[in-house]
Amino acid sequence: MKKILILICSLFGLISNSQNQTRKILIENREIEWELVDSLLKKQIKNKVSIQNGINEIKKLLNFDNKNLITESELEKLINEFNSFTKKVLKENYLPNDIKGLYFGIFTSIDNNKEYITIYLSGSIISPMEDSEDWNVEPIYLPKMYMIPSYFEIIKSSNVELNGELEVLIYNGILNLIILENIETYKENIIKSSNEIYIGCGFDSGETYILGKLTQQGLK
């Protein structure tokens, strides 16, 4: 995934902060096995859980039963913000007919010595079924547009101890849930002459989660 990271930074004029995943997450003096995080995110994708149920599962893993990971109003704002960004990108940048995979990328950008969780959209003529490791490394569709979710900034500023693994659980996890529940609202801007397009999401320096295959009948 390093090639696309360099390309994105070059396009946006930003510097990316690489995240080296270890096997455990340390939060509030408690360790969480990375396998538990990975397993939860994959289970949520497989079961296509609702956004709220998915967030509750993330809170449970973090032992945040008495804490509010995201309020209703914050979640609504985040969903609207993300949907507006995605629709704008797809509307203003025609998706080529030969695209087989669409990737929502996440990386940590730095501007004026401050870190920001940043999201962009790219497309590849290679599907994850053809190359599971590098299908999204050299995209042919890469609009020079990105978003910095305001809610993610709230999380980052109030949790200075966040590390790469915890960011995957919270940022990648919540983004997966939003895409799963909203991807069909952009279907007319994605599925044209192609019968199917794979949808992926993940940090450039980590694993890409395949959310499914979008067809005229929906996300499979």
Confidence band, pLDDT 50/70/90 cuts, at residue 7: very low
Distance from C-alpha of 149 to C-alpha of 52, rounded to nearest angstrom: 18
Name the token pair of 98.
């030969």
Distance from C-alpha of 163 to C-alpha of 68, rounded to nearest angstrom: 19
Name the token pair of 156.
């980052």
pLDDT digits (tens, 9 = 90+) for 32-76: 788 888 999 999 999 999 999 999 998 888 887 667 777 888 889
Distance from C-alpha of 142 to C-alpha of 4, rounded to nearest angstrom: 10
The whole-number pLDDT of residue 22 equals: 45
Nearest to 136 by CA among 148, 146, 127: 127
| Residue tagged 């993330």 (tokens) | 58
Of residues 159 and 90, more confidence is placed in 90
pLDDT digits (tens, 9 = 90+) for 112-160: 777 778 999 999 998 888 887 888 888 889 999 999 888 877 666 555 4
Helix, coil or strand: residue 117: strand
pTM exceeding the 0.75 threshold for the entire prediction: yes
Question: Is beta strand 101-111 parallel, antiparallel or unpaired with respect to 15-16?
Answer: antiparallel
Distance from C-alpha of 199 to C-alpha of 215, rounded to nearest angstrom: 11
Q: What are phi and psi of 113, to 5 degrees?
A: 65, 20
Helix, coil or strand: residue 45: helix
Query: Within 10 Å of residue 119's Cβ, how many Cβ atoms?
Result: 21
Maximum Cα interatomic distance, the chain, rounded to a whole number of Å = 52
Distance from C-alpha of 159 to C-alpha of 140, rounded to nearest angstrom: 36
